[in-house]
Amino acid sequence: ADWMAKYAISREGEAIPWDLVAEQIKATHPYKVFALRGMLAVPYFERALYEMPEEDVTAESIKALADKVEKDIQGGLSARPLLSVPHILSDEASCYYHGYVLAEMGVHQTREFFLKRDKYITDNPSVGPTLTEAYWKPGNSEPFLSLVDNLTGAPLTGDAWVNELKQSVEDVLKEERESYDAKIAQCSSGAPDTDVDLDMRIRIVDGDSVLADTAEDGGFLETCKKFEEYVQTRFAKA
């Protein structure tokens, strides 16, 4: 919630009200586990399918297997049937979907590491250098599991993800409210940001037309404002 307290700002410069943040948490947190179950169902189905004896592989048995996995993993037939997942139907993407699950595990474990070490993530100047050294510089020279282990100091597990899902709505609201209030107080006591330096040139183009350019318009925020005005004008004409 702290990032919304700072960056979800109205045109009048007012931060998003806490009530809206709380409403979003109440509406989404209890159901996040269903997204996890939906992700897990795909690799479990693929494994069972590829372990099926060849003589048993028929259209009927595959459909029955998909229904069984959905019921076992998701608790019932899925709103997104397994056999509609394109990764399963496309040979170049087969045995690939579990990578999404592993990546999400890595994200949660990495976030947990930063929160334990630094207590916060939003606008934390140490996050970028840490990610650069541990993840981006090694790149494909290190296996994925080693990357996560090297940064977090622990083997990749689903513990951080599961622990987040196990939190009650009340606990999440309490944590996020504290984070939201702290960021609101910090923003109120400090001078507003007057520029954003990304150490790069940004040109926003539409065909041959240059709509905005940080080198010509005076900086990032000025470029954003110019592009925003363009969009509003064009939308109004439409």
pLDDT tens digit string along 37-93? Answer: 999 999 999 999 999 999 999 999 999 999 999 999 999 999 999 999 998 888 888
DSSP string, 66-78: HHHHIIIIISS--
d(CA 66, CA 196): 50
What's the mean per-residue pLDDT of the chain?
Answer: 92
d(CA 8, CA 52): 50
β-pair partners for 210:
205
pLDDT tens digit string along 146-179? Answer: 999 999 999 999 999 999 999 999 999 999 999 9
**Burial of 165: CB neighbours in 10 Å, binned 0-12, 13-18, 19+:** middle
pTM, to two decimals: 0.81
